[in-house]
């Protein structure tokens, strides 16, 4: 995978987060203008939450308890009000396509930032399409035809001592054998080569390495 794929995917993720946050902010504005009391509660919750962080930093535990009681009261009031006007609390939160990484592409595992499966899948899809393996439904061994390969034996023309048809038949057999033995750890890799200037599909040579 080249770096540009990851860069453009991360840019796409950033855009998704920006859009999700913007959407919820607009929705909140609309709701708060309709129900100003909801905005008041939200503002109080925000101020108390900031105060709580300061108290945590100064280890003022008795005051933290008081703030927690106040916060719980406000959250309950907000919940009740939302229910009354038939608004789901979920709708006031940004909607992310991936709940695991919140569309950041990364999650935390044992205090380490690791790539989320959603991002891995996207990279895989891009690389898979690049490899043309995506055409496997149409281009496979059962649709393979020998008729495109000449029966002529002409080493000068094809760079082969046998006809291109005989050659490709052998290559097909070796390839099928390779696939059937793919799980075998002793199975060797395949290297496809061909002379420069000659079309690889005609002058193709196959080596087990
Ligand atoms: Zn994710």
**What is the full DSSP assignment across 146-177?**
GGGS-----HHHHS-SS-HHHHHHHHHHHHHH
Across residues 158-183, what is the average pLDDT?
87
Decide if pLDDT at 163 tops 70: yes
pLDDT given for residue 187 in this prediction: 78
* d(CA 14, ligand 1 centre) in Å: 12
* d(CA 3, ligand 1 centre) in Å: 19
Classified as helix, coil or strand, 101 is coil
Q: How far apart are CA 48 and CA 45, in angstroms?
A: 5
Q: Classify residue 187 by its DSSP letter.
A: P
pLDDT given for residue 202 in this prediction: 59
pTM of structure: 0.56
Across residues 26-35, what is the average pLDDT?
94
* d(CA 1, ligand 1 centre) in Å: 19
- Written as six digits, the tokens of 113 are 């930032």
Provide the percentage of residues in the chain whose pLDDT is more than 90. Answer: 52
Q: In this predicted model, which residue has the larger pLDDT, 106 or 182? A: 106
Decide if pLDDT at 168 tops 60: yes
* d(CA 107, ligand 1 centre) in Å: 7
Decide if pLDDT at 185 tops 90: no
């Amino acid at each position: 995978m080249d770096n540009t794929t990851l860069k453009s995917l991360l840019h796409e993720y950033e855009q998704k987060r920006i859009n999700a946050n913007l959407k919820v902010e607009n929705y909140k504005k609309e709701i708060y203008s309709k129900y100003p009391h909801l905005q008041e509660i939200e503002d109080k919750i925000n101020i108390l939450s900031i105060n709580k962080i300061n108290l945590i930093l100064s280890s003022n535990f008795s005051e933290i308890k008081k703030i927690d009681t106040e916060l719980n009261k406000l959250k309950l009031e907000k919940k009740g009000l939302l229910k009354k006007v038939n608004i789901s609390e979920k709708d006031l939160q940004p909607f992310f396509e991936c709940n695991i990484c919140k569309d950041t592409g990364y999650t935390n595992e044992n205090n380490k930032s690791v790539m989320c499966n959603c991002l891995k899948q996207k990279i895989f899809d891009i690389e898979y399409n690049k490899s043309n393996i995506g055409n496997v439904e149409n281009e496979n061994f059962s649709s393979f035809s020998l008729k495109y390969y000449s029966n002529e034996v002409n080493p000068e023309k094809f760079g082969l001592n046998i006809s291109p048809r005989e050659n490709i038949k052998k290559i097909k057999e070796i390839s099928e054998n390779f696939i059937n033995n793919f799980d075998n750890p002793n199975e060797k890799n395949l290297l496809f080569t061909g002379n420069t200037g000659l079309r690889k599909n005609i002058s193709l040579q196959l080596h087990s390495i």
